[in-house]
Structure 1
């Protein structure tokens, strides 16, 4: 059995925490909204979770320096687009593209409230912002679900230890 030791400095705690989280497999999403000038904004995120079925709600944590945050704060809406394993290369290109060029690829549509939704996502969840609260380096946003879209014909895209992986279901 290994021994757990407390880190010597805050910097060590941060790096240890980062390394521990790399071992936590997460589904990959693209969270999107619309900027004040009407252009779409989005980032690849794993800091996404379901919060409640009653009321249907989601929780996201956006870095306060991310290009997406002003769009979510302005529009009061966002979409969470869960990526299938076939989206790995597209996701990497999206994540590394210039902010203004990210929506040039992919099959995007605007829902009835003007929120960008990725049509070929494994699932899309559109939310209205209910509450936003700063915490450390991030803004924690609670969203009330207003619409969902999903398909059942693909494996999920997973992020683990700095790499993409395909989900696998067991019988």
Structure 2
């Protein structure tokens, strides 16, 4: 419809609708940009320090290895009828891998505690996958093939019995 032929009141209504549509579009763009910003990957590299079997400190930031779950630091497991400190073993294995040289991590998001969720490489190899393949950690949303390989070879945790770390945490809540 030709706007010059519209009545003044109809023109004001049309301008109001056009203005609201423009604001909605701008708001949608702002939300989209905000979401996009949160998904931007951050890369860190350097010497890492093991906190536990699936967490490390790198570049002044605490990171949780994405897609895996290792026994908690004070968790015990069993092998050949004897308990062993599988949580401390997991931290030691991660510490040994980190001590070999520089590690590079892509931070892909944050967990509910504000730690960066990271996919890391040590010696050019996927660190997260290696820990699961060795049976030191379990697949937790990723690395199912590596877990199946460790399980069938009875490596690490799979050589004995253990409680899944998520179940152990539920039974032993953090103070």
- Greater fraction helix: 2
- Greater fraction strand: 1
Higher RCO (CA 8 Å, separation ≥ 6 residues): 1
Structure ID, larger Rg = 2
TM-score in same-fold range (> 0.5): no
TM-score normalised by structure 1 residue count = 0.29
